[in-house]
Amino acid sequence: MSSSTENPSVSVDALLTVLSEDLDVDRKRLDEIVLKRTLISTDTAHKSADSHAQVPLKALTGGRPVSDMNVVELRRLMEEHASTEEKVIPFLLRFCLGEFHYGQRATPLLPGQHPAKETVEVAPSDDTSDTHAPLSNKHNSPSVVFEAFDVLASESRFNHLHQVAGWVDLDDKEVWDRYVRDVLDGCVQSGDRVFEAGCGVLAFLSAALAFMPDITIGGCDGAPRTVRLVKKELAPQQFKDNFFVGMLPDCLNGVADESWDVLICNSVFQYFASHDQALETVNEMLRVAKKWVIIADICSTKYKHLVEGAVRTMQWTKDLPQYRTYEKSWWDRFDDQGHLVSIRHVRVKEYARRQQRYVVYIEKNGRKKNTQC
C-alpha cells in the first residue's frame, strides 16, 4: 500500500501478505484469524466476479453487534464508492493486529518482531510539510503501523467521526457528544487553547468545538494521511496549521512550554509499550499545558480480567498484544510533584466500558496554588 494513494485499493490477500512479512507472523495463522473473526475467506481462487455477494455484512463489523442504524449504514457502504474489500480492510487491520488508535499504536513486541527505526519516511503531500514522524524503539513495526493508520483514515467519509475512530459502543452521536462534555467537565473555558495528543480524525475536538465554538484547537497524530485529512477537510481553516504528524511522547518535544491551556489525550494510554512511555508522555503534556491535563479512557488494572478476558479466551487471538492497564495509585506521582490529581469514572451511562475505565484530571501546580492561598 502506498500512503500517497488518495483512495487505496488493495486485495485482502495482498494486505495479509504484507502484514505477515512485516510483522513476522505466520501467514496461515493470520488467515485463520481473519476467517474466524470476520468470516472472510482469503482464498481468492474461489471468488466469484460479484465480490459484494461473497463478503457477508457481518464482516464489516468484525462480528460486533451493531444498532439498526449502523446496519443500514453498513448496507449503504457495500453499495457505494469503494470496493467491498477496500471497506473491509480497516476492520481486518483492527481485528487481525489488535485494535488500532489513530493517535498511537505502541504495544509490546510479539515474539519474532523487531524494534522500530528511529524515523519513518512519510510520502510528501501538498497539505503538510512533515517529512517524517519521530519514533523510538518503544514502537513496533513502523511501516505497517503507519500504513494501517492511513487506511483507517479513509473511513472518515463513511460514518460519524467518533464511529470512524472505533467507538462502537457509543454509536449515537448525541451520546458521544455527552461523553465529550462529561470528560471535559468544565476544565475548558471560553477562549482556551486545547491540544489533543492523538487527535485522530478530530472526533473528540470536533464535538468540543461544537459546544465551545470560541476555543482554539490543535493536535498531533501518528498517521500522515489522517493529519492531511484533518488539515484539508476536518479542521477549521484557521486551525489547520496547529496539527502535525508524530507519535507520543517524542512528538511533543517541539511544542513550546505552556503554549496550550488544556492538553487532552483520549483512549490512547492502553496502547503504550510500557508505563515508562506513559510517564514520559504525561510529563511532556504537563510541560506544554498551562492549566489542565486530561487523560481519558484509562484501562483500570482492577478490571484487567474484563479488559483482556475476551482476547485470552479465544484461541486465535491469544498471541495478540494486550491493553496496558493502570492502577489508580500510579497517578499519585504527579500529585507528589505539586499538581492536583483527581480521578473519576465517566457519568454517561450508555458507555458500556465506564466501569472498566476512568478519567484522570491533573491541574497543573494545583497543589502549590492551594498551599500559597
Q: What is the CATH number of the domain that holds 312?
A: 3.40.50.150
**CA 273 to CA 160: how far, in whole Å?**
29
How far, in Å, are 207, 216, 312 from residue 213 at the CA level?
Answer: 10, 8, 44
Walk along the chain (373 residues) and give the pLDDT tens digit of each residue.
333 333 333 345 555 665 566 555 666 766 665 554 443 444 443 443 333 333 333 444 444 433 333 434 444 444 444 444 444 444 444 433 333 333 333 333 333 333 333 333 333 334 443 333 333 334 444 454 455 445 444 443 333 444 334 444 555 678 888 999 999 999 999 999 999 999 887 889 999 999 999 999 999 988 777 788 789 888 999 999 999 988 889 999 999 999 999 999 998 898 787 899 999 999 999 999 999 999 999 999 998 877 666 445 444 344 445 678 999 999 999 999 999 999 999 999 888 788 889 999 999 999 876 655 4
pLDDT 10s digits, 224-273:
777 887 898 889 999 999 999 888 899 999 999 999 999 999 988 987 87
Residue 106, domain member (yes or no): no
Domain identity same for 196 and 319: yes
- Pair type for strands 357-363 and 340-344: antiparallel
Phi, psi of 295 (to 5 degrees): -120, 115
Domain identity same for 176 and 280: yes
Domain identity same for 319 and 190: yes
The closest alpha carbon to 258, from 308, 232, 292, 304, belongs to 292
Q: Is 90 exposed, middle or buried (0-12, 13-18, 19+ CB in 10 A)?
A: buried
**CA 158 to CA 74: how far, in whole Å?**
9
Work out the mean pLDDT of the chain and round it to a whole number: 67
Residue type, 61: T
**CA 42 to CA 62: how far, in whole Å?**
15
pTM here?
Answer: 0.63
For 97, the grid coordinates are 493486529
For 104, the grid coordinates are 498511537
**CA 58 to CA 342: how far, in whole Å?**
41
The closest alpha carbon to 359, from 170, 183, 187, belongs to 183
Domain identity same for 230 and 311: yes
pLDDT reported for residue 40: 41
Residue 87 lies in domain: 57-96
For 155, the grid coordinates are 473511513
Domain identity same for 175 and 83: no
**CA 65 to CA 358: how far, in whole Å?**
24
Residue 134, domain member (yes or no): no
> Does residue 306 sit in helix, strand or coil?
helix
> Does residue 121 sit in helix, strand or coil?
strand
pLDDT reported for residue 230: 86
Residue 191, domain member (yes or no): yes
Number of domains in the chain: 2
Domain identity same for 69 and 195: no
Phi, psi of 222 (to 5 degrees): -80, -10
Residue 208, domain member (yes or no): yes
Mark which of 96, 120, 152 sits at the end of a domain: 96
**What's the DSSP call for residue 257?**
T
Mark which of 47, 76, 96 sits at the end of a domain: 96
Domain identity same for 173 and 89: no
Exposure class string for 133-165: b at 16+ Cβ within 10 A, else e: bbbbebbbbbebbbbbbbbbbbbbebbbbbbbb
Domain identity same for 70 and 200: no
Mark which of 79, 96, 113 sits at the end of a domain: 96
Domain identity same for 196 and 344: yes
The helix (H) or strand (E) run that includes residue 23 is helix 12-23
Angle among Cα 36, 42, 48 to the nearest 5 degrees reads 120
Q: Are 293 and 286 in contact (CB under 8 A)?
A: yes
How far, in Å, are 73, 147, 288 from residue 68 at the CA level?
Answer: 9, 31, 43
Q: Are 128 and 264 in contact (CB under 8 A)?
A: no
All residues at 6 or more sequence positions from 203 whose CB lies less than 8 Å from its CB, including other chains: 160, 161, 162, 164, 165, 167, 176
**CA 31 to CA 16: how far, in whole Å?**
8
Domain identity same for 171 and 292: yes
Residue 290, domain member (yes or no): yes
Q: Is 305 exposed, middle or buried (0-12, 13-18, 19+ CB in 10 A)?
A: exposed
The helix (H) or strand (E) run that includes residue 366 is helix 366-372
